[in-house]
């Protein structure tokens, strides 16, 4: 039987992060500072990895893709949020809302899978070093990259397909500063219990399983490092510690938002703000600040351009 979408709502009103003008001004300045300083830093990471022949290892290949994903992810929510701070009426069209939701989960899902790939890369490099060049060859790296993009697309399109079948015929106020699954579903003019369960399964369960799997894999890697006496022990430990920090920053807020029934909590907006705006810009920078090779290459690149 064909399901007809009886949507009559053409736009959604975003209630924003806060109604306080002082807090809005503070957040506006904070986001602007992050954009002007850290976003160019992410593009500098990509340029450095692309231009330095010494940074061709899979670790740097995936780090460059992480910087690209996070930079792209930061364009989904933050620019519109900045515009809304200076706008009287904060509205987004129905199609714009669906588009924002799609790219939010497309890139977010892809990044989560990229962290899984990076964990696999570190496992092979540290626990199976003799097989590393064979397993993580260029063809395998590009295949893994294609797989994570495809996985992010499937993850996102499943949610969009479910939402497009929901009728929106009444209230159109979203109690958030962007379009996301929990708030949009609550505005549907029908019983959404089954859809909510499907969304929790698609978002929450996948996020939780990836998180637990990543923590388990790094626990195995760290145990292997502790028992090792090689010269690269401290370097491997630093790299894995950085990866664990990024995993906690990304998956912690996602688990808080998506692994429970869609019931609003006072902390939801703040957690969503850090999850969608602040952390994506910070992730590649955290990797870079703890990676001596990338920092050295970046200094050479900057000094070369300054001299020119």
Q: For residue 19, which phi and psi values (nearest 5 degrees)? A: -95, -5
The pLDDT value recorded for residue 56 is 87
**In the prediction, which pLDDT does 138 show?**
93
pLDDT of residue 263: 72
Strand partners, 250: none
Tell me the whole-structure pTM to 2 decimals: 0.88
Q: Give the chain's end-to-end CA distance (angstroms, integer).
A: 67
Neighbours of 100 (CB within 10 A): 18
Count of Cβ atoms closer than 10 Å to residue 210 Cβ: 21
Q: pLDDT digit of tens for each residue in the chain (308 aa)?
A: 344 455 678 899 998 888 888 888 888 888 888 788 778 878 888 888 888 888 889 989 998 998 899 888 888 988 888 888 888 788 999 999 999 999 999 999 999 999 999 999 989 988 888 999 999 999 999 999 999 999 999 999 998 998 998 998 878 888 888 998 888 988 998 888 888 888 888 888 888 888 998 989 888 888 888 766 665 677 777 778 888 888 888 898 888 888 876 677 778 888 888 888 877 777 767 777 777 788 788 888 777 765 55
Q: Where are the alpha helices (DSSP H) in the chain?
A: 21-51, 58-85, 94-127, 132-135, 138-164, 181-186, 193-200, 206-226, 233-258, 268-273, 279-289, 292-307
Q: What is the pLDDT of residue 1?
A: 37
- Contact by Cβ (8 Å): 272, 253: yes
Domain 11-307 falls in which CATH fold?
A: Rhopdopsin 7-helix transmembrane proteins (1.20.1070)
pLDDT of residue 2: 44
Whole-number Å distance between alpha carbons of 68 and 305: 22
């Amino acid at each position: 039987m064909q399901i007809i979408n009886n949507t009559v709502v053409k736009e959604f009103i975003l209630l924003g992060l806060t109604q306080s003008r002082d807090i809005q001004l503070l957040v506006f300045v904070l986001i602007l500072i992050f954009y002007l300083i850290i976003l160019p830093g992410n593009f500098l990471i990509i340029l450095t990895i692309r231009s330095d022949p010494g940074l061709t290892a899979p670790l740097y290949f995936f780090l460059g893709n992480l910087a690209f994903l996070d930079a792209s992810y930061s364009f989904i929510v933050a620019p519109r949020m900045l515009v809304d701070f200076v706008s009287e009426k904060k509205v987004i069209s129905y199609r714009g809302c669906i588009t924002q939701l799609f790219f939010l989960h497309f890139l977010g899902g892809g990044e989560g899978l990229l962290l899984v790939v990076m964990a696999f890369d570190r496992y092979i490099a540290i626990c199976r070093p003799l097989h590393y060049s064979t397993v993580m060859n260029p063809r395998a790296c590009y295949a893994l990259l294609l797989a994570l993009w495809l996985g992010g697309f499937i993850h996102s399109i499943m949610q969009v397909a479910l939402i497009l079948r929901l009728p929106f015929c009444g209230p159109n106020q979203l109690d958030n500063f962007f379009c996301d699954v929990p708030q949009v579903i609550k505005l549907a003019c029908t019983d959404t219990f089954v859809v909510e369960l499907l969304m929790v399964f698609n978002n929450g369960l996948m996020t939780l399983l990836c998180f637990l799997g990543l923590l388990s894999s790094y626990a195995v890697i760290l145990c292997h490092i502790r028992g090792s006496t090689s010269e690269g022990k401290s370097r491997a430990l630093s790299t894995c510690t950085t990866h664990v920090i990024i995993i906690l920053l990304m998956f912690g807020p996602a688990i808080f938002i998506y692994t429970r029934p869609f019931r609003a909590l006072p902390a939801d907006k703040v957690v969503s703000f850090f999850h969608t705006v602040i952390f994506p810009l910070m992730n590649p920078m955290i990797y870079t600040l703890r990676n001596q090779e990338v920092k050295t290459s970046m200094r050479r690149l900057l000094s070369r351009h300054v001299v020119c």
